[in-house]
Amino acid sequence: MKNTTTGQLPMLTGMYGGLPLPTTVNSQHGKAHGLYNLAKSRRGVALLLTLSLTSLFYTFDAGPLIQSRISSYDRSGAPIWPQLGGLDVSGTDGPSTMPLTPLGLEADRSFHLGSTSKAVYKAELEQFIQRAFPGWLQERAHASLELYLGDNTKALTLPEIPHKIYQTSKTEPRGDWKSSTWQNIPGYTYWFFDDELADKWVRDVFGGTEMEKVWDVFGPGIKRSDLLRYLLVMTEGGIYSDMDTVRLKDLDQWGHGAGRQGPESKGLPSVFVGIEADVGTRSDWHKWWPRPLQMVQWTFAAAPLHPILIDTVRRVHHVTAIIEAKKAKNETSNATDLKEHWVGGELLRNDGTVSIMEWTGPGVFTDSVIRYIAAEHNITWPALKNLRKPLRIRDTVVLPVTGFSPGVGMFGAGDTNNEQAMVQHLFAGSWKSGLHNE
Protein backbone atom coordinates (compact mmCIF):
# COMPACT_ATOMS: atom_id res chain seq x y z
CA MET A 1 0.00 0.00 0.00
CA LYS A 2 1.34 3.41 -0.89
CA ASN A 3 0.75 6.53 1.14
CA THR A 4 1.79 9.58 -0.90
CA THR A 5 2.33 13.13 0.30
CA THR A 6 3.44 16.00 -1.87
CA GLY A 7 4.88 19.42 -1.30
CA GLN A 8 7.42 21.87 -2.59
CA LEU A 9 11.05 21.56 -1.64
CA PRO A 10 11.85 24.57 0.58
CA MET A 11 13.64 27.21 -1.46
CA LEU A 12 16.68 29.21 -0.38
CA THR A 13 15.38 32.51 -1.67
CA GLY A 14 11.90 31.94 -3.02
CA MET A 15 13.01 33.56 -6.27
CA TYR A 16 12.93 30.60 -8.58
CA GLY A 17 9.90 28.77 -9.82
CA GLY A 18 8.05 25.94 -8.15
CA LEU A 19 10.03 22.75 -7.85
CA PRO A 20 8.83 19.27 -8.73
CA LEU A 21 6.60 17.59 -6.21
CA PRO A 22 8.68 14.73 -4.81
CA THR A 23 6.99 11.64 -3.45
CA THR A 24 7.18 10.02 -0.04
CA VAL A 25 6.44 6.30 -0.13
CA ASN A 26 5.63 4.03 2.79
CA SER A 27 6.90 0.49 2.28
CA GLN A 28 6.70 -2.69 4.33
CA HIS A 29 9.86 -4.74 4.58
CA GLY A 30 7.91 -8.00 4.33
CA LYS A 31 9.60 -10.97 2.71
CA ALA A 32 11.92 -8.66 0.81
CA HIS A 33 13.71 -8.04 4.08
CA GLY A 34 15.18 -11.51 3.69
CA LEU A 35 17.35 -10.06 0.94
CA TYR A 36 18.92 -7.81 3.56
CA ASN A 37 19.97 -10.77 5.68
CA LEU A 38 21.31 -12.49 2.59
CA ALA A 39 23.28 -9.39 1.62
CA LYS A 40 24.75 -9.18 5.10
CA SER A 41 26.14 -12.70 4.78
CA ARG A 42 28.11 -12.06 1.57
CA ARG A 43 31.81 -11.59 2.17
CA GLY A 44 35.28 -12.16 0.81
CA VAL A 45 35.84 -12.88 -2.84
CA ALA A 46 32.38 -11.87 -4.02
CA LEU A 47 32.61 -8.46 -2.39
CA LEU A 48 36.16 -7.95 -3.60
CA LEU A 49 35.04 -8.74 -7.15
CA THR A 50 32.08 -6.36 -6.88
CA LEU A 51 34.21 -3.54 -5.53
CA SER A 52 36.84 -4.09 -8.20
CA LEU A 53 34.25 -4.07 -10.98
CA THR A 54 32.68 -0.89 -9.58
CA SER A 55 36.07 0.80 -9.49
CA LEU A 56 36.87 -0.36 -13.01
CA PHE A 57 33.53 1.01 -14.23
CA TYR A 58 34.30 4.43 -12.82
CA THR A 59 37.85 4.34 -14.12
CA PHE A 60 37.30 3.16 -17.68
CA ASP A 61 33.66 3.53 -18.76
CA ALA A 62 33.18 7.20 -19.51
CA GLY A 63 30.50 6.54 -22.12
CA PRO A 64 29.74 8.62 -25.19
CA LEU A 65 29.05 12.32 -24.99
CA ILE A 66 25.64 13.51 -26.11
CA GLN A 67 26.10 14.69 -29.70
CA SER A 68 23.32 17.21 -29.91
CA ARG A 69 23.81 20.90 -29.16
CA ILE A 70 21.17 22.95 -27.38
CA SER A 71 20.39 25.90 -29.63
CA SER A 72 18.77 27.91 -26.84
CA TYR A 73 22.21 28.70 -25.46
CA ASP A 74 23.23 30.34 -28.69
CA ARG A 75 20.13 32.49 -28.53
CA SER A 76 20.78 33.39 -24.88
CA GLY A 77 24.28 34.59 -25.62
CA ALA A 78 25.95 32.11 -23.25
CA PRO A 79 29.64 31.61 -24.03
CA ILE A 80 30.51 28.83 -26.45
CA TRP A 81 32.27 25.81 -25.03
CA PRO A 82 35.84 26.65 -26.09
CA GLN A 83 35.54 29.82 -24.02
CA LEU A 84 34.25 28.06 -20.93
CA GLY A 85 37.72 26.84 -20.14
CA GLY A 86 38.78 30.45 -19.67
CA LEU A 87 38.13 30.29 -15.92
CA ASP A 88 41.33 30.68 -13.96
CA VAL A 89 42.16 27.30 -12.49
CA SER A 90 45.02 27.19 -10.05
CA GLY A 91 47.86 24.82 -10.64
CA THR A 92 49.06 22.45 -7.99
CA ASP A 93 51.28 24.05 -5.37
CA GLY A 94 55.01 23.58 -5.88
CA PRO A 95 55.65 19.83 -5.97
CA SER A 96 57.09 18.47 -2.74
CA THR A 97 60.12 16.23 -2.80
CA MET A 98 59.32 14.78 0.62
CA PRO A 99 56.59 12.10 0.60
CA LEU A 100 53.90 12.33 3.25
CA THR A 101 53.71 8.56 3.77
CA PRO A 102 55.81 5.45 3.04
CA LEU A 103 53.67 5.05 -0.09
CA GLY A 104 55.85 7.73 -1.66
CA LEU A 105 55.31 10.74 -3.86
CA GLU A 106 53.17 8.76 -6.30
CA ALA A 107 50.49 8.51 -3.62
CA ASP A 108 50.66 12.21 -2.75
CA ARG A 109 50.49 13.27 -6.39
CA SER A 110 47.51 11.02 -7.14
CA PHE A 111 45.31 13.69 -5.55
CA HIS A 112 44.61 16.55 -7.96
CA LEU A 113 43.77 19.32 -5.55
CA GLY A 114 44.88 22.52 -7.22
CA SER A 115 46.31 25.19 -4.94
CA THR A 116 45.76 24.66 -1.22
CA SER A 117 46.37 28.33 -0.46
CA LYS A 118 43.14 29.41 1.20
CA ALA A 119 43.19 32.76 -0.60
CA VAL A 120 43.64 31.13 -4.01
CA TYR A 121 41.06 28.44 -3.20
CA LYS A 122 38.49 31.02 -2.14
CA ALA A 123 39.13 33.25 -5.16
CA GLU A 124 38.78 30.31 -7.52
CA LEU A 125 35.40 29.34 -6.06
CA GLU A 126 34.22 32.96 -6.09
CA GLN A 127 35.07 33.26 -9.77
CA PHE A 128 33.21 30.05 -10.55
CA ILE A 129 30.13 31.19 -8.62
CA GLN A 130 30.06 34.45 -10.54
CA ARG A 131 30.44 32.60 -13.81
CA ALA A 132 28.14 29.61 -13.51
CA PHE A 133 25.49 30.25 -10.83
CA PRO A 134 22.14 31.98 -11.34
CA GLY A 135 22.07 35.54 -10.07
CA TRP A 136 19.75 34.85 -7.13
CA LEU A 137 22.15 32.20 -5.78
CA GLN A 138 25.40 34.13 -6.19
CA GLU A 139 25.02 36.45 -3.20
CA ARG A 140 24.25 33.57 -0.83
CA ALA A 141 27.09 31.49 -2.20
CA HIS A 142 29.60 34.31 -1.74
CA ALA A 143 28.37 34.83 1.83
CA SER A 144 28.78 31.12 2.50
CA LEU A 145 32.39 31.18 1.29
CA GLU A 146 33.11 34.13 3.58
CA LEU A 147 31.64 32.22 6.51
CA TYR A 148 33.67 29.07 5.93
CA LEU A 149 36.84 30.53 4.43
CA GLY A 150 36.98 34.01 5.95
CA ASP A 151 39.64 35.26 8.34
CA ASN A 152 37.63 34.83 11.54
CA THR A 153 39.73 32.52 13.71
CA LYS A 154 37.24 32.24 16.56
CA ALA A 155 35.20 29.10 17.14
CA LEU A 156 32.11 29.58 15.01
CA THR A 157 28.69 28.01 14.97
CA LEU A 158 28.53 27.06 11.31
CA PRO A 159 25.38 26.09 9.38
CA GLU A 160 23.84 22.75 10.20
CA ILE A 161 22.67 20.14 7.72
CA PRO A 162 18.96 20.51 6.93
CA HIS A 163 16.77 17.52 7.71
CA LYS A 164 16.19 16.61 4.07
CA ILE A 165 16.92 13.29 2.37
CA TYR A 166 17.29 12.87 -1.40
CA GLN A 167 17.19 9.76 -3.55
CA THR A 168 16.95 9.36 -7.32
CA SER A 169 16.07 6.65 -9.79
CA LYS A 170 14.54 6.31 -13.24
CA THR A 171 11.09 5.68 -11.81
CA GLU A 172 9.35 5.94 -8.47
CA PRO A 173 10.23 3.06 -6.10
CA ARG A 174 7.34 0.82 -5.16
CA GLY A 175 7.66 -1.43 -2.15
CA ASP A 176 11.45 -1.13 -2.10
CA TRP A 177 12.64 -2.11 1.38
CA LYS A 178 16.03 -0.41 0.98
CA SER A 179 14.49 2.95 0.15
CA SER A 180 11.97 2.55 2.96
CA THR A 181 14.80 2.74 5.51
CA TRP A 182 15.28 6.38 4.47
CA GLN A 183 11.60 7.33 4.55
CA ASN A 184 9.26 8.45 7.30
CA ILE A 185 12.08 9.39 9.66
CA PRO A 186 10.68 11.71 12.34
CA GLY A 187 11.82 15.27 11.74
CA TYR A 188 13.12 14.58 8.21
CA THR A 189 11.57 15.21 4.81
CA TYR A 190 12.19 12.63 2.09
CA TRP A 191 12.43 13.76 -1.55
CA PHE A 192 12.48 11.35 -4.45
CA PHE A 193 13.44 12.48 -7.96
CA ASP A 194 12.78 10.39 -11.04
CA ASP A 195 14.35 11.39 -14.36
CA GLU A 196 11.57 13.82 -15.25
CA LEU A 197 11.50 15.59 -11.89
CA ALA A 198 15.29 15.77 -11.79
CA ASP A 199 15.36 17.45 -15.19
CA LYS A 200 12.67 19.92 -14.14
CA TRP A 201 14.47 20.79 -10.90
CA VAL A 202 17.76 21.50 -12.66
CA ARG A 203 16.05 23.74 -15.22
CA ASP A 204 14.02 25.55 -12.56
CA VAL A 205 17.10 26.28 -10.47
CA PHE A 206 19.92 26.59 -13.02
CA GLY A 207 18.03 27.51 -16.18
CA GLY A 208 19.98 29.80 -18.48
CA THR A 209 23.30 29.15 -16.75
CA GLU A 210 26.35 27.18 -17.78
CA MET A 211 25.38 24.45 -15.30
CA GLU A 212 22.22 23.82 -17.31
CA LYS A 213 24.41 23.48 -20.36
CA VAL A 214 26.58 20.90 -18.60
CA TRP A 215 23.39 19.03 -17.72
CA ASP A 216 22.30 19.04 -21.37
CA VAL A 217 25.68 17.83 -22.60
CA PHE A 218 25.51 14.87 -20.22
CA GLY A 219 22.07 13.63 -21.18
CA PRO A 220 20.53 10.69 -19.25
CA GLY A 221 23.15 8.54 -17.58
CA ILE A 222 25.60 8.14 -14.74
CA LYS A 223 27.12 11.60 -15.22
CA ARG A 224 23.72 13.25 -14.71
CA SER A 225 23.13 11.08 -11.66
CA ASP A 226 26.43 12.21 -10.16
CA LEU A 227 25.85 15.87 -10.99
CA LEU A 228 22.30 15.85 -9.62
CA ARG A 229 23.39 14.65 -6.18
CA TYR A 230 26.04 17.38 -6.01
CA LEU A 231 23.66 20.11 -7.16
CA LEU A 232 20.87 19.09 -4.78
CA VAL A 233 23.04 18.99 -1.68
CA MET A 234 25.02 22.06 -2.72
CA THR A 235 21.91 24.16 -3.31
CA GLU A 236 19.47 22.91 -0.69
CA GLY A 237 21.64 21.05 1.81
CA GLY A 238 20.70 17.68 3.26
CA ILE A 239 21.57 14.02 2.89
CA TYR A 240 21.97 12.17 -0.39
CA SER A 241 22.04 8.36 -0.52
CA ASP A 242 21.86 5.93 -3.45
CA MET A 243 18.81 3.73 -3.90
CA ASP A 244 20.85 0.60 -3.16
CA THR A 245 21.82 1.76 0.31
CA VAL A 246 20.31 0.78 3.64
CA ARG A 247 20.20 3.03 6.68
CA LEU A 248 21.44 0.97 9.61
CA LYS A 249 21.27 3.45 12.49
CA ASP A 250 19.54 6.65 13.47
CA LEU A 251 20.92 9.66 11.65
CA ASP A 252 21.82 11.38 14.93
CA GLN A 253 24.37 8.60 15.50
CA TRP A 254 26.50 9.74 12.56
CA GLY A 255 29.84 10.93 13.91
CA HIS A 256 29.06 9.88 17.48
CA GLY A 257 32.22 9.68 19.58
CA ALA A 258 34.35 11.43 16.96
CA GLY A 259 37.93 12.34 17.68
CA ARG A 260 38.97 15.90 16.93
CA GLN A 261 41.75 17.53 15.00
CA GLY A 262 42.27 21.14 14.04
CA PRO A 263 40.23 24.11 15.28
CA GLU A 264 37.12 23.70 17.38
CA SER A 265 33.66 24.47 16.06
CA LYS A 266 30.52 24.97 18.07
CA GLY A 267 27.32 23.23 17.14
CA LEU A 268 26.65 20.29 14.87
CA PRO A 269 28.80 19.40 11.84
CA SER A 270 28.19 20.97 8.43
CA VAL A 271 29.49 17.97 6.45
CA PHE A 272 29.52 14.18 6.74
CA VAL A 273 31.63 12.12 4.36
CA GLY A 274 32.83 8.53 4.54
CA ILE A 275 35.95 6.74 3.39
CA GLU A 276 35.49 4.04 0.76
CA ALA A 277 39.08 2.89 0.25
CA ASP A 278 42.17 3.14 2.43
CA VAL A 279 44.97 1.05 0.95
CA GLY A 280 47.11 1.10 4.08
CA THR A 281 50.71 0.19 3.26
CA ARG A 282 50.08 -1.74 0.04
CA SER A 283 52.69 -0.66 -2.47
CA ASP A 284 50.61 -2.00 -5.39
CA TRP A 285 47.61 0.18 -4.54
CA HIS A 286 47.71 1.94 -7.93
CA LYS A 287 46.79 -1.32 -9.68
CA TRP A 288 43.38 -1.25 -8.06
CA TRP A 289 42.61 2.33 -7.04
CA PRO A 290 43.39 5.72 -8.61
CA ARG A 291 44.06 7.19 -5.16
CA PRO A 292 45.32 5.55 -1.96
CA LEU A 293 42.40 7.09 -0.09
CA GLN A 294 38.97 7.56 -1.65
CA MET A 295 35.69 8.98 -0.41
CA VAL A 296 32.25 7.46 -0.78
CA GLN A 297 29.85 9.45 -2.93
CA TRP A 298 26.90 7.06 -2.68
CA THR A 299 26.09 8.68 0.69
CA PHE A 300 27.10 12.10 1.99
CA ALA A 301 25.57 15.14 3.68
CA ALA A 302 26.27 18.86 3.82
CA ALA A 303 24.84 22.22 4.73
CA PRO A 304 23.78 24.41 1.78
CA LEU A 305 26.53 26.02 -0.30
CA HIS A 306 29.41 24.36 1.49
CA PRO A 307 32.78 24.92 -0.25
CA ILE A 308 33.30 21.17 -0.73
CA LEU A 309 30.19 20.87 -2.89
CA ILE A 310 30.82 24.14 -4.72
CA ASP A 311 34.31 22.88 -5.59
CA THR A 312 32.95 19.50 -6.68
CA VAL A 313 30.49 21.16 -9.07
CA ARG A 314 33.26 23.48 -10.28
CA ARG A 315 35.43 20.49 -11.15
CA VAL A 316 32.62 18.83 -13.10
CA HIS A 317 32.02 22.07 -14.99
CA HIS A 318 35.73 22.56 -15.71
CA VAL A 319 36.32 19.03 -17.03
CA THR A 320 33.22 19.29 -19.22
CA ALA A 321 34.45 22.60 -20.63
CA ILE A 322 37.84 21.10 -21.49
CA ILE A 323 36.25 18.06 -23.13
CA GLU A 324 33.78 20.11 -25.16
CA ALA A 325 36.50 22.53 -26.24
CA LYS A 326 38.67 19.65 -27.42
CA LYS A 327 35.67 18.10 -29.11
CA ALA A 328 34.98 21.34 -30.98
CA LYS A 329 38.62 21.55 -32.01
CA ASN A 330 38.52 17.95 -33.22
CA GLU A 331 35.73 18.94 -35.58
CA THR A 332 37.83 21.67 -37.18
CA SER A 333 41.41 20.39 -36.86
CA ASN A 334 43.47 17.40 -37.80
CA ALA A 335 44.20 15.08 -34.89
CA THR A 336 47.91 15.72 -35.36
CA ASP A 337 47.34 19.42 -34.69
CA LEU A 338 45.91 18.82 -31.21
CA LYS A 339 48.08 19.05 -28.13
CA GLU A 340 47.82 16.50 -25.36
CA HIS A 341 45.70 17.64 -22.43
CA TRP A 342 45.67 16.18 -18.94
CA VAL A 343 42.56 16.19 -16.74
CA GLY A 344 43.29 15.16 -13.19
CA GLY A 345 45.61 12.21 -13.55
CA GLU A 346 44.38 11.18 -16.98
CA LEU A 347 45.23 12.08 -20.54
CA LEU A 348 42.18 12.94 -22.60
CA ARG A 349 41.30 10.15 -24.98
CA ASN A 350 41.38 10.65 -28.72
CA ASP A 351 37.62 11.19 -28.72
CA GLY A 352 38.01 13.91 -26.10
CA THR A 353 36.56 11.96 -23.17
CA VAL A 354 37.90 11.07 -19.75
CA SER A 355 36.82 8.45 -17.22
CA ILE A 356 33.79 9.03 -15.03
CA MET A 357 36.11 8.72 -12.02
CA GLU A 358 37.85 11.97 -13.00
CA TRP A 359 34.81 13.63 -14.57
CA THR A 360 31.88 13.33 -12.16
CA GLY A 361 32.68 10.38 -9.92
CA PRO A 362 34.42 9.65 -6.61
CA GLY A 363 37.71 11.08 -7.87
CA VAL A 364 36.51 14.68 -8.13
CA PHE A 365 34.53 14.39 -4.89
CA THR A 366 37.55 13.02 -3.02
CA ASP A 367 39.81 15.78 -4.31
CA SER A 368 37.27 18.40 -3.23
CA VAL A 369 37.11 17.03 0.32
CA ILE A 370 40.89 16.72 0.68
CA ARG A 371 41.44 20.21 -0.75
CA TYR A 372 39.01 21.86 1.68
CA ILE A 373 40.67 20.25 4.68
CA ALA A 374 44.12 21.19 3.39
CA ALA A 375 43.26 24.78 2.44
CA GLU A 376 41.20 25.59 5.52
CA HIS A 377 43.14 23.67 8.16
CA ASN A 378 46.51 22.78 6.64
CA ILE A 379 45.72 19.11 7.26
CA THR A 380 46.89 16.66 4.60
CA TRP A 381 45.36 13.39 3.44
CA PRO A 382 47.40 11.02 5.70
CA ALA A 383 45.43 12.40 8.67
CA LEU A 384 42.45 10.44 7.31
CA LYS A 385 44.28 7.11 7.03
CA ASN A 386 43.62 4.18 9.36
CA LEU A 387 40.52 5.71 10.95
CA ARG A 388 38.63 3.35 13.25
CA LYS A 389 36.22 5.97 14.54
CA PRO A 390 34.91 9.25 13.11
CA LEU A 391 37.23 12.24 12.93
CA ARG A 392 35.88 15.78 13.23
CA ILE A 393 37.91 18.60 11.69
CA ARG A 394 36.00 21.75 12.68
CA ASP A 395 32.78 21.53 10.62
CA THR A 396 33.64 18.32 8.73
CA VAL A 397 33.18 14.78 10.02
CA VAL A 398 34.96 11.96 8.19
CA LEU A 399 33.62 8.48 8.92
CA PRO A 400 35.90 5.42 8.80
CA VAL A 401 35.41 2.77 6.12
CA THR A 402 32.96 0.97 8.41
CA GLY A 403 30.71 4.05 8.47
CA PHE A 404 29.31 3.85 4.93
CA SER A 405 31.02 0.63 3.73
CA PRO A 406 30.56 -2.01 6.43
CA GLY A 407 31.03 -5.65 5.55
CA VAL A 408 33.23 -5.13 2.49
CA GLY A 409 35.89 -7.48 3.82
CA MET A 410 38.82 -5.12 3.26
CA PHE A 411 40.37 -1.84 4.42
CA GLY A 412 39.74 -2.84 8.03
CA ALA A 413 35.98 -2.48 7.64
CA GLY A 414 33.80 -3.86 10.39
CA ASP A 415 30.58 -5.80 9.87
CA THR A 416 27.13 -4.29 9.51
CA ASN A 417 26.48 -4.83 13.22
CA ASN A 418 29.56 -2.80 14.17
CA GLU A 419 28.81 0.27 16.27
CA GLN A 420 30.43 2.44 13.58
CA ALA A 421 28.28 1.05 10.73
CA MET A 422 25.77 3.71 9.68
CA VAL A 423 24.87 2.88 6.06
CA GLN A 424 25.26 -0.30 4.01
CA HIS A 425 25.85 -0.13 0.27
CA LEU A 426 24.57 -3.24 -1.52
CA PHE A 427 26.37 -2.50 -4.82
CA ALA A 428 23.20 -3.28 -6.75
CA GLY A 429 24.36 -1.52 -9.89
CA SER A 430 21.51 0.99 -9.92
CA TRP A 431 23.59 3.03 -12.40
CA LYS A 432 22.50 0.56 -15.07
CA SER A 433 19.05 2.13 -15.39
CA GLY A 434 17.47 5.53 -15.73
CA LEU A 435 19.68 8.40 -14.68
CA HIS A 436 22.33 5.79 -14.09
CA ASN A 437 22.39 4.35 -17.59
CA GLU A 438 24.59 5.57 -20.40
pLDDT digits (tens, 9 = 90+) for 90-141: 555 666 679 999 999 999 999 999 999 999 999 999 999 999 999 999 999 9
Does a structural domain hold residue 27? no
pLDDT tens digits, 171-187:
777 777 788 899 999 99
Does a structural domain hold residue 146? yes
Q: Is 342 helix (H, G, I), strand (E, B) or coil?
A: strand
Does a structural domain hold residue 367? yes
The total of structural domains in the chain comes to 1
Label residue 399 by pLDDT band (50, 70, 90).
Answer: very high
pLDDT tens digits, 422-434:
999 987 544 333 3
Does a structural domain hold residue 299? yes
Count of helix runs (H) and strand runs (E) in the chain: 15, 13
Question: Whole-model pTM?
Answer: 0.79
Q: Which domain holds residue 400?
A: 62-91+107-431
Cα distances (Å, whole numbers) of residue 79 to 45, 82, 209, 231, 327: 50, 8, 10, 21, 16
Query: Does residue 80 surpass a pLDDT of 80?
Result: no
Label residue 1 by pLDDT band (50, 70, 90).
Answer: very low
Does a structural domain hold residue 51? no
Does a structural domain hold residue 1? no
Label residue 255 by pLDDT band (50, 70, 90).
Answer: very high
Does a structural domain hold residue 186? yes
Does a structural domain hold residue 55? no
Mean pLDDT of the chain: 78
Cβ-proximal residues to 309 (8 Å cutoff; 6+ apart), any chain: 230, 233, 234, 302, 368
